[in-house]
């Protein structure tokens, strides 16, 4: 069976600054928390760092040519706060702004719409030194950064996101210590959640006062969390992880309140007027989705939550993430019911890591990635048929890149990168995706 996507469906690809740019000490860029974190031995697999990454900072013309060949209508990038404001605040760095200026122009010259996310996890180290996301002042400094960036690029860039997965940035970075800045704790996590929420609200306002014609959103992550057993303690843990991971940002930003069972604990951090600042009208509803997981009580975790591996025999990616397109369909339906309402919905990340092999003829036959994408894109069609207005889908990712704590060991790209030579090579999935972006129907199993 083959099925077409609606006319005007937006095909995109996503990347982020620290994961692809490299050039971490060039043209006045300041250090970010990921520079610090990745340079501390033991934090990242193989002690990999983003020092060079895909060297996109120098090779962007080649990458923009790849985007053209892919046929996408939109490219989502993130701006690096430490390139634009090396100290996190104060005087902007002209060379940092010029880089994004040129990139945006080059992308637009190919009729590709640039979508810009302001925060994809690379907080300037200078601000972490002042308490990072546990310090309320950082929310105001984020708003300054948002204003500076929107002022410079807002005449051309219309789609903006304040944050990419603030839930992952706060939970992995300030609760579990698995991501930069490597902090573990319960209070630190709650503070980070609240300050990032405030930053979203203040940043949105700051951008709106720069220009009235911007489309502003926030990129959530939805990851269904089911209890691993019928034990009450696992059910309690699943409810807690669902609140922490899936609800702690969209609930206050869209409904003006923190979700149970976190609401009471958040009270101590909320100052009068905060929730009004956080709840700002959004212009579109965006999220990332990869998998679902099963939750059990873990007494050693700051929130007593943990996950167990998928059922034996369940299909998984190289991340160990279960492949379950039906969960994606459900997530899309719930996103509309709980949050999006009449807002257009965009999936801004979805994709899979698999161990790619270059065959003797030079081809990369990444059939597993194609099958993953086929299944998940089928779920998008099912959700559309069920009345969910999904307007676009952005694959993660254009290029293999620095996969955070996994370093270069996990490849999500449609384009293979040889990290020794930085050579780019198209995978079969690139051609699969290009056909769809050029209007082909999806062949469904």
Active site residues: 165, 349
3-state per-residue secondary structure call for the chain? CEECCCCCCEEEEECCHHHHCCCCCCCCCCCEHHHHHHCCCCCCHHHCCCCCCCCHHHHHHHHHHHHHHHCCCEEEEECCHHHHCCCCCCCCCHHHHHHHHHHHHHHHHCCCEEEEEEECCCCEHHHHCCCHHHCCHHHHHHHHHHHHHHHHHCCCCCEEEEEECHHHHHHHHHCECCCCCCCECCHHHHHHHHHHHHHHHHHHHHHHHHCCCCEEEEEEECCCEEECCCCHHHHHHHHHHHHHHHHCCHHHHHHCCCCCCCHHHHHHHCCCCHHHHHCCCCCCEEEECCCCEEEEECCCCCCCEEEECCCCCCCECCCCCECCHHHHHHHHHHHHHHHHCCCCEEEEECCCCCCCCECCCCCECCHHHHHHHHHHHHHHHHHHHCCCCEEEEEEECCECCCCHHHHHHCCCCCEEECCCCCCEEECHHHHHHHHHHCCCCEECC
- Beta strand 159-164 pairing with 113-119: parallel
Q: Count Cβ atoms below 10 Å from residue 375 Cβ, excluding itself.
A: 18
**Do 239 and 246 form a contact (C-beta atoms < 8 A)?**
no
Residues 6+ apart with CB under 8 A from 440: none
Q: How far is the CB of 14 from ligand FCB (least distance, A)?
A: 8
Question: Closest Cα to residue 395, out of 352, 445, 442, 331?
Answer: 352
Question: Closest Cα to residue 307, out of 263, 245, 379, 247?
Answer: 245
- Beta strand 113-119 pairing with 74-78: parallel
What is the contact surface with ligand FCB in residues (CB under 6 A)?
Answer: 16, 19, 164-165, 168, 221, 288, 349, 396, 403-404, 412
**Do 287 and 221 form a contact (C-beta atoms < 8 A)?**
yes
Both tokens of residue 115?
Answer: 């979508």
CA 3 to chain centre: 28
């Amino acid at each position: 069976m083959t099925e077409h996507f609606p006319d005007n469906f937006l095909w995109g690809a996503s990347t982020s600054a620290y994961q692809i740019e490299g050039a971490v000490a060039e043209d006045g860029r300041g250090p970010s928390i990921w520079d610090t974190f990745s340079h501390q031995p033991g934090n990242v697999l193989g002690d990999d760092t983003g020092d060079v990454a895909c060297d996109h900072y120098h090779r962007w013309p080649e990458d923009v040519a790849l985007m053209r060949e892919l046929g996408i209508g939109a490219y989502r990038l993130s701006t690096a706060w430490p390139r634009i404001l090396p100290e996190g605040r104060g005087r902007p760095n002209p060379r940092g702004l010029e880089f994004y200026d040129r990139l945006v122009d080059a992308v637009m010259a190919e009729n590709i719409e640039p979508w810009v996310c302001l925060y994809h996890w690379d907080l300037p180290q200078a601000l972490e030194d002042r308490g990072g996301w546990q310090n309320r002042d950082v929310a105001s400094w984020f708003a300054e950064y948002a204003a500076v960036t929107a002022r410079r690029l807002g005449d051309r860039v219309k789609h903006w996101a304040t944050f990419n997965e603030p839930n992952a940035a706060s939970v992995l970075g300030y609760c579990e210590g698995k991501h930069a800045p490597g902090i573990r704790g319960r209070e630190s996590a709650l503070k980070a959640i609240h300050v990032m929420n405030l930053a979203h609200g203040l940043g949105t306002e700051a951008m709106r006062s720069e220009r009235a014609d911007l489309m502003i959103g926030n990129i959530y992550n939805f990851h269904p969390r089911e209890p691993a057993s019928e034990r009450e303690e696992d059910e309690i843990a699943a409810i807690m992880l669902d609140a922490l991971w899936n609800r702690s940002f969209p609930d206050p930003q869209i409904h003006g309140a923190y979700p149970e069972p976190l609401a009471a604990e958040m009270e101590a951090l909320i100052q009068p007027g905060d929730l009004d600042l956080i709840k700002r009208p959004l212009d579109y509803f965006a999220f990332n989705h990869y998998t679902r997981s099963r939750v059990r009580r873990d007494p050693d975790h700051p929130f007593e939550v943990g996950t167990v591996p998928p059922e034996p025999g369940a299909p998984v990616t190289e991340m160990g993430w279960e492949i379950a397109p039906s969960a994606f369909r459900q997530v899309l339906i719930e996103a509309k019911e709980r949050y999006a309402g009449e807002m257009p919905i965009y999936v801004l990340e979805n994709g899979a890591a698999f161990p790619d092999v270059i065959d003797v003829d030079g081809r990369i036959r990444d059939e597993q990635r194609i099958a993953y994408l086929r299944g998940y894109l089928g779920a998008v069609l099912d959700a559309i048929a069920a009345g969910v207005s999904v307007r676009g889908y952005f694959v993660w990712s254009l290029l293999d890149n620095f996969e955070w704590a996994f370093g270069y060991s996990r490849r999500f790209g449609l384009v293979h990168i040889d990290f020794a030579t930085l050579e780019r090579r198209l995978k079969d999935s690139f051609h699969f995706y290009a056909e769809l972006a050029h209007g082909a129907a999806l062949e469904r199993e």
